Amino acid sequence: MSNNNNMDHKYILEAQDLDIYYGTFKAVTGVNMKVERNKITAIIGPSGCGKSTLLRAFNRMNELYAGTSIKGKIMFDGEDIYAPHIDPVEVRYRIGMVFQKPNPFPKSIYENIAWTARIHGFKGNMDELVENSLQQAALWDEVKDKLQQSGLSLSGGQQQRLCIARAISIKPEVILMDEPASALDPIATLKIEELMQELKKNYTIVIVTHNMQQAARASDYTAMMMLADRVLRSGTVIEFDETQHIFTNPKDKRTEDYVTGRFG
């Protein structure tokens, strides 16, 4: 995959006429969406409308589920990541992911990052990389004196920040976050949101959240997803705009109903 990193591309990720299937079931339909570089894009919507399915398509994680396929394209830096010659593993290095339930390895805090970097082929100063990653994840001060302790000994919020540090240690360009704070308490949640504001200086973030207040607080752009068809139960993006517009003056009545709590 060419390391294009063409900074002239305003949009680092782009879904074009995207349909996503689980076997013959069309879970997501007709998504056209552009993700702007160094911004936070949130995907919100009611349960079961395909938010996580869409997110996982952006780094081909959905292929870990048997029988998934797509129609249409996902362009990353101007290149179709589903093209036959593209290695999905490399895609996932450049487009990293953080999951809902923090999943640090059963290793030390240090090794969580070092091991990840090592298998990616990192041969430089590991101490520096570990510190740098933990600094960027706003975790360094809390763990610098206990790097040899298990990653599992940390609190939920700290574990999640460790997972973020691990993801960014291999220098992705995009970080996908699938409800990264839904398992965390409100204070830890706010810390993650504040961290995202810092991270977007160097990375592009796409976050799925069922908490629309979180999307309102933390994101620059919001994609509103809903079922396009109640019978076939296929989800689509019904509105996509700057977050401030989605929450002050949405164009689609369904978006208005959702953000004002009148949906359903």
Partner 1 sequence: MARKTFESEIQHVKDNVLILGSMVEKALLDSVEALKKRDIKAAEQLFEADNEINKKRFEIENQLMILIATQQPMAHDLRLLASCMEIISELERMGDYAKGISNINIRMGDTPLLKPLIDVPRMAQKGADMLHRALTAFVNENVEIAKTLPVEDDEVDALYNQVYRELMTFVIADPKTIERANWLLWVAHNLERFADRVTNICERTIFIVTGEMKEIKSTDDEFWHQQSHY
Among 6-14, 31-39, 113-121, 241-249, the segment contacting partner 1 (CB under 8 A): 241-249
Residue closer to partner 1 by CB (options 212, 237) is: 212
Residue closer to partner 1 by CB (options 236, 255) is: 255
Among 95-103, 154-162, 230-238, 244-252, the segment contacting partner 1 (CB under 8 A): 244-252
Residue 247 as a binder of partner 1 (CB under 8 A): the answer is yes
Residue 252 as a binder of partner 1 (CB under 8 A): the answer is no
State the number of binding residues for partner 1 (CB under 8 A). 13
Q: Are 2 and 79 within 8 A, CB to CB?
A: yes
Q: Among candidates 62, 65, 84, 66, which has minimal Cα distance to 18? A: 62
The one among 37, 73, 217, 233 contacting partner 1 by CB under 8 A:
217
CB atoms within 10 A of CB 8: 5
Q: Are 176 and 96 within 8 A, CB to CB?
A: yes
Q: Are 217 and 244 within 8 A, CB to CB?
A: no
Residue 138 as a binder of partner 1 (CB under 8 A): the answer is yes
Residue 213 as a binder of partner 1 (CB under 8 A): the answer is yes
Q: Which amino acid is at 207?
A: I
**Surface-to-core class of residue 148, CB atoms within 10 Å of its CB (0-12 exposed, 13-18 middle, 19+ buried):** exposed
Q: Which amino acid is at 154?
A: L
Please give the residue ranges that form the binding site for partner 1 (CB under 8 A).
138, 187, 190-191, 194, 197, 213, 216-217, 243-244, 247-248
